[in-house]
Amino acid sequence: MYFLAKASAFLLEWQLRRGVADCLEIPIAATKDIARQLSKLHDAVQLQTARRHPVILILDEELELFPWEMLNILQDHPVCRVPNLHMLYALYKAHERNISRGRFEVDASSGYYIVNPEQNLPRNEKRLRPFLTSRAPSWNGTFGVAPSSEQFRDVLQNYNIFIYAGHGSGSQFLQGDEIQKLNVQAVTFLFGCSSVTSKDLGGRIEPAGMWHFYHIASCPMVIGNLWAVTDAASDAITVHTLHNWLPRTQDMVIDEEQERMPLKPCYVKDPDAPELWRPNGYRWKHEPDLLSAIRRSHTANKHYMASAALAARGLPVVIRGQVDKDIPAKSLGSG
């Protein structure tokens, strides 16, 4: 029973109740109150709310498409993916000077966004325009304008954060063969359908995707979707992730009591409505660790498949100067 209590933070309710029933030799129906009390033990509560080290998944190519980040045991953890240890080490060495306490530090004041570049996602543009212009006022970007390959190349090399909100991964504007020749400094968000999925190329060639070319170009992290999602669902997750990850702007009115409360999911009730973003309309709880902000964004949409599609590939990322001091440095490594 002692070990069951110690492990209660890692068990689902039905697992805990079955364990109690086996230990006390009583019917499962009589274990509800006991299991509930075990889950409220101090150690269990501490484990559930503790700051977590990032979990870096190295997955077999045959298992890549599964949303491992949504497993119950990983849902409260910051999780990212890398294809192998060699790529992880290469990214670490490429950005060693900007890594502190095991995380790549990024200056969030420099960013660029490309929204609806093919002019066929008007609702996407209508929803994201008020958010990006008010939440990231120092950033540059375009709405409804197709970038040239030179512009796309310049953005990847000269900005710290890049957001692409259009169809696919943006390869129609700059091919992977060209991207891999660059030195990409930007933490890259590709909020298009199947933007970070791996595709079977046939024969004995391993599955690959656009994210491979970004990593070859030393891109510290690529965030995108493993499969197709609706633009409304993608926009909700975009807003929720960036709103809580980016630092507070001067014109944000924050209630300190509200900030300490749990985040409120921002569901899209009407995909045609532009009111996805309302300044000061959502609770804001700053999460400088990008993987943790992504984990929280899973509550931003009521459709499981839309939330599960989001995946991060590369190094753990944090806003510069805001590395979590609650996590010991010695177990994370340092640059």
Catalytic residue numbers read: 193
Question: Are 27 and 21 contacting, i.e. CB atoms less than 8 angstroms apart?
Answer: yes
Eight-state DSSP code of residue 289: B
Smallest CA-to-CA distance from 242 within 122, 132, 148, 110 is with 132
Phi, psi of 30 (to 5 degrees): -95, 10
The string over 14-29, giving b where at least 16 C-beta atoms fall within 10 Å of a residue's C-beta and e elsewhere, is eebbebbbeeeeeeee
Contacts of 150 (CB under 8 A, 6+ apart): none
List the strands of the sheet with 317-319, edge to edge: 99-100, 103-106, 317-319
* CA distances from residue 187 to 44, 95, 150, 232 in whole angstroms, order as listed: 35, 12, 19, 23
How does DSSP classify residue 199? Answer: B
The DSSP bridge partners found for residue 208 are 199
Amino acid identity of residue 184, one-letter, is V
